Amino acid sequence: MIVEAAPAKLNLALHVRARRPDGYHELETLFAFVADGDVVTIDPGGAPGLTLTGPFAAGLSGEGDNLVLRAERLFRARVVDRPPMAILLDKRLPVASGIGGGSADAAATLRALARLEGVAIDDPRLFDCAEALGSDVPACLLGRTALGRGRGEVLLPLDGLAALPALLINPGVAVSTAAVFARWDGIDRGPIGQGDPLAAALAGRNDLEPPALALAPVIAEILALLAAQPGVRLARMSGSGATCFALFDTADQRAAAAARMRAACPWWCLETVLAGQPGVPSRDQAAA
């Protein structure tokens, strides 16, 4: 049995540079990952199929073709052909929330299958599978701080990002990525700066925040509350929303901010920390 973490991803900055003829957008984004997320378990001896558990399993119950199953099929088609297996997805992250839940699950499935079959995690075939599954899946497969270009699949790993305490807040509102991108104003406001990733993030922005705010005004409320917390280094929306995050100087400041946020509104709240590599999920996760 193989157990693989599927850490949540954060876009510390996300600059939209241009619309592409293929329907995608040219991006620059700073990917980072936290220590908590979903968990994928593969049982080679179990009955083939996907079982969903966890607090957000219901959000995927109506899907006819989950990304996890698509990842398994692609691995069998492009890497190692083997019979289908039993897969358990413990869904701990909100669905359609801008923190790469589905992409992280697909990437974790590829990593788990690679471990099972003795395939190197940096095997180019895995990244070919990841790119075919979605724009964020290659970054989630890499699983470390990186600068993403193109659709997000052209990755430059980065060092120097401290393991800062992080607080994630989601209001329980699903935001359509396609709808948010459709509302982007088409203005190229420039690239992400070079150098230290945190400094570049602080000097950057998320170009999808304005269109996401138009679709889900509660995001503005969350961002204002996070930005007002003592010790905040950075408060921003991740991806196309609606999850927002704040990075803090200390774990005590994060914990105090989480208590205030839980008291203010009944939102999903995750206390975690930035992590450089995919890790074992902690139990520092709570739904307010």
Q: Would you name the residues annotated as active-site residues?
A: 9, 136
> Nearest 5°: phi and psi at 197?
-60, -40
Which whole-number Å values give the CA distances from 190 to 18, 193, 197, 203, 261, in the listed order? 10, 9, 16, 11, 33
SS3 205: coil
C-alpha dihedral sign at 247, 32, 6, 276:
negative
- Contact at 8 Å (CB) between 74 and 66? no
The residue to which tokens 């509350």 are assigned: 225
CB contact at 8 A, 14 and 207: yes
Structure-block tokens of residue 193 = 């700066």
